Amino acid sequence: MNNQDSKSTKRSTDHDNSSREFIQNSALVGSGLMMAGGASSMFAAGSKYGPEVHTQNVPSRGYAAFDTSGVLKPWKFERRPVGDNDVLIDVKFASICHSDIHQLKGHWGSQQYPQVPGHEIVGIVAAVGKNVTKFKVGDRAGVGCMVDGCKNGTCCEEHGEQYCPDTVFTYGYPQESSPTGISQGGYSSNIVVNDHFAVHIPENISFEEAAPLLCAGVTTYSPLLKFDLKKGDKVGVAGIGGLGHLAVKLAVSKGAEVTAFTTTADKVDGIKGFGVKNVVVVDDELKALGDYRGQLDYMINTFPVDYDVAAYAAAVKPFGTYTQVGMPEGFSVSANALGLAASRVNFNASLIGDMKETQEVVNYCADNKVLPEIQVISAEQINQAWEDVVAKKARYRYVIDAATF
């Protein structure tokens, strides 16, 4: 924060004031050819894009919500021209995160519409700006929850881009460079982002399976990494949905002894297949968690709804660690203070992960075959899929085929 001046001179976009004001004024932080090497070859021969993508807005089509009903409909809109530090990515798949639903329905504060959600995005680089060396046209690329920010700031290096006041989140965030005034997400045919906020998708993972790693994967990987998970550690994962099932698989792959807590009885058999030691169906929180009193080294909770933290914290050893990653309506969770005091856990909440961790989790999952369970759907099935996510029917991530936008 002491390098504000140098940052603003280095930045390629001019959104810093608006985004800083926005973050100060709002609780909403919960929320994306041709060969490089010569200015004359910044677009590909035969590409559907010509050199005009660098000077004119780029046409895009996607699915947007138009009000707090959250009903999504096809929408044509424009992206900003591909700037010197930008990449244009033709989206191949975008997956559905519970956050998309919360934000577009206004659960996290009022929104500007039309708004295109989606922050688990994969595709192929279709154009690059002249300063971009990280990507070339034809590369496989992914975008998660952030699309721009002070990539040169030391604050980002120290703490992660997601905790920087200059960061632009992938959709619904004030962004002067966007023709619509806000960032527009990945339920769309293409996206333009600052190259720092795109990661490489290696060849040894499919696009469909890589998409959920960009939010759900890194959101669970980051706190597990920071806990310094060791082989044999006893780890609890509460809420086995899109985030939770990846938390389970990641913890199992690191050699942890995992206990899964779910409120959905018919998920038990599926969860056992992920290599957990125990699956606990929670109908009475105090009883179910009381049976595990003081046993776990670490608990990660993905509930996207309000609940009593203390009930779940009871399962963690004194001075163990408890991380909240699910984000409820209004961002609030409850805690019985006496219950929390009696279990004496170190409680924290964690917001996604930084760009380094995002690349790391994609590589780790590809190399170790830690893959999300997915169902590929077409764009016209999104509204039904959102209902199924809320009804806890997803198994476990819906991935939209971007060819159907």
- Give me the residues that bind Zn ion (CB under 5 A), please: 97, 99, 150, 153, 155-156, 164, 215
Q: Which residues of 99-117 are buried (b: 16+ CB within 10 A; e: fewer)?
A: bbbbbbbbbbeebebbbbb
At closest approach, how far in Å is the CB of 16 from Zn ion?
10
Give helix 355-368 / helix 216-226 axis angle, nearest 10°. Answer: 100
At closest approach, how far in Å is the CB of 163 from Zn ion?
8
Q: Using an 8 Å Cβ cutoff, are 117 and 187 in contact?
A: yes
| C-beta of 10 vs 277, nearer to Zn ion | 10
| C-beta of 220 vs 343, nearer to Zn ion | 220
At closest approach, how far in Å is the CB of 9 from Zn ion?
14
| C-beta of 114 vs 241, nearer to Zn ion | 241
- Token digits for 310? 């203390």
Separation CA 146–CA 394 (nearest Å): 25
Separation CA 281–CA 278 (nearest Å): 10
SS3 402: helix
| C-beta of 156 vs 394, nearer to Zn ion | 156
At closest approach, how far in Å is the CB of 219 from Zn ion?
7
| C-beta of 20 vs 317, nearer to Zn ion | 20
SS3 135: coil
Separation CA 389–CA 108 (nearest Å): 18
Separation CA 317–CA 211 (nearest Å): 35
At closest approach, how far in Å is the CB of 216 from Zn ion?
6
Separation CA 235–CA 225 (nearest Å): 13
At closest approach, how far in Å is the CB of 183 from Zn ion?
14
| C-beta of 106 vs 179, nearer to Zn ion | 106
**Considering only CA atoms, which of 373, 360, 396 is closest in space to residue 225?**
360
At closest approach, how far in Å is the CB of 391 from Zn ion?
18
| C-beta of 97 vs 125, nearer to Zn ion | 97
SS3 401: strand
